[in-house]
């Protein structure tokens, strides 16, 4: 992993433009901004719509874990002391805690397919 000398971002080697002099160790994003390459010459630079779509796919993939953590925190803070709602929400949280990892692993192929579909130009 190399570091871009302009933005100090750490990327794999395939995300850098090739060349000597001012183009050496410059990522594709900074290369387009600095005028070293055009957007058509880059292979890993995505337009705004594709970047947003990729972030939506990643967010959809990992958001159940965030909601699960938030659910456990809310249960511990507010619902643990309530007799009826505390037990009902505990059962729901336990079932969800068991289901989320299973759904995560079962959705792996769809996630890879969506990312691959959005990665090809």
Residue 98 Cα to chain centre, angstroms: 23
String of DSSP letters for 3-46: E-TTT--EE-GGGB---SGGGTT-BHHHHHHHTSS-GGG-SS--
pLDDT digits (tens, 9 = 90+) for 88-99: 999 999 999 999
- Which range (48-52, 79-83, 86-90, 113-117) has the least confidence? 48-52
pLDDT digits (tens, 9 = 90+) for 33-61: 898 888 778 877 777 788 899 899 999 99
Which of 33, 30, 28, 35 has its CA nearest to residue 14? 28
What does the pLDDT average to over 58-73?
A: 97
Q: What does the alpha-carbon distance between residue 82 and residue 74 come to, in Å, rounded to a whole number?
A: 12
pLDDT at 12 over 90: no
Q: How confident is the model at residue 121 (pLDDT cuts 50, 70, 90)?
A: low
């Amino acid at each position: 992993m190399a570091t871009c000398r302009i933005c100090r971002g750490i990327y794999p080697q395939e995300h850098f433009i090739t060349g000597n002099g001012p183009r050496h160790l410059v990522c594709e994003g900074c290369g387009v901004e600095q005028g070293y390459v055009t957007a058509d010459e880059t292979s890993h630079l995505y337009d705004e719509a594709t970047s947003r779509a990729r972030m939506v796919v990643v967010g959809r993939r990992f958001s159940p874990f965030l909601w699960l953590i938030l659910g456990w925190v809310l249960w511990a803070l507010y619902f643990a002391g309530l007799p009826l709602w505390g037990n009902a929400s505990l059962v729901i949280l336990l079932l969800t805690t068991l289901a989320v990892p299973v759904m995560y692993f079962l959705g792996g192929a769809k996630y890879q397919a969506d990312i691959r579909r959005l990665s090809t130009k």
